[in-house]
Amino acid sequence: MHYVKVMGILSPSNGMNLYRGCSHGCIYCDSRSKCYQMNHDFEDIEVKENALELLEAALRRKRKRCMIGTGAMTDPYLPLEKNLGYTRKALLLIEKYGFGVALQTKSDLVLRDLDILRQINEKTKAVVQMTLTTADEKLCRIIEPNVSTTNERFEALKALRDAGIPTVVWLCPVLPFINDTEENIRTILGMCVEAGVRGVLCFGMGLTLREGNREYFYRQLDIHFPRLKERYIREYGNNYMVDSPRSTELMRLFHRICEENGILHNNDQIFEYLRKFEEKNAAEQLCLW
């Protein structure tokens, strides 16, 4: 871990990353790609020490309230968040100035901040997005070694449901020849149904590989799935998009199960929901109490 001072914290689309780099160890992580020009070791987390001051100044200046996003590049609930509390302090600022939040994580540490999320959600909207890739706990520990397990994330989704916090699941990536099975997709979607998620984002049954994350992914395949790297190279070469051979049938299954259970499964509609700031009126707020 190391500290840096930055010039700004909110992107033009009102997204923020309080940290840079990651210690989750997910074997498929796109954030390792060289195009992001990270000039330090990926596991050496960069902490933006002036992020909270910049965030408060940015929120105070804004003429219109909006949704603030976090977690697109770096999980806001890395293990070091337990001690540093930057994400919690950022949520307090978002609540103080009346903004909404849409955060993305793979950690059940998000439940620590359930009190603030409820306060935000009482006035506007707080949405938690949780990534689910495999229903197999043993496989989860291989492809996502340092994060909350799938079952722990499932329990977190149910706790958020019970607290009235809307949730969205990212069903990705689906790794060819590893977790691209009908049983896996059915089980994950069954969890989504039980947890009452509002929507499931899915960008196809596959993953993306480019310089930086491809090399890391292949090294992990050599360690955990001997000879599978050679199959990937044979099937996909240097393709950016790496689709499962079962993609068509699995996508058909995905859309059918979501449709049957009233779960949003159109990515554009889900992103529109995540971006839309919705201020609750007094009557709605009273109903929440």
Q: Is the pLDDT of residue 285 over 80?
A: no
Does 108 have pLDDT greater than 60? yes
Position 284 confidence tier, pLDDT thresholds 50, 70, 90:
low
Instruction: Give the residue carrying structure tokens 């210690």.
Output: 23
pLDDT digits (tens, 9 = 90+) for 66-107: 999 999 989 999 999 999 999 999 999 999 999 999 999 999
pTM: 0.94
Q: Where residue 288 falls among pLDDT bands split at 50, 70, 90?
A: very low
Residue 66 tokens read as 């909006």
Q: Region 222-247: what's the mean pLDDT?
A: 96
Q: What is the pLDDT of residue 281?
A: 65
Token couple for 190: 């069954």
Residue-level pLDDT at 37: 84
Question: What is the CATH number that goes with domain 2-288?
Answer: 3.20.20.70
Cβ atoms of 133 and 170 within 8 Å: the answer is no
What span, in angstroms and rounded, lies between the C-alpha atoms of 140 and 124? 34
Alpha-carbon distance of 85 to 113, in angstroms, equals 10
Alpha carbons 110 and 100: distance in angstroms, whole number: 16
What average pLDDT does this structure show over 253-263? 98
d(CA 137, CA 207): 20
Q: What is the DSSP string of 166-212?
A: -EEEEE----TTTT--HHHHHHHHHHHHHHT-SEEE---SEEE--TT
pLDDT at 148: 97
Residue spans of the domains in the chain: they are: 2-288
Q: Parallel, antiparallel, or unpaired: how do β-strands 19-20 and 46-48 relate?
A: antiparallel
The yes-or-no verdict on residue 268 having pLDDT over 70 is yes
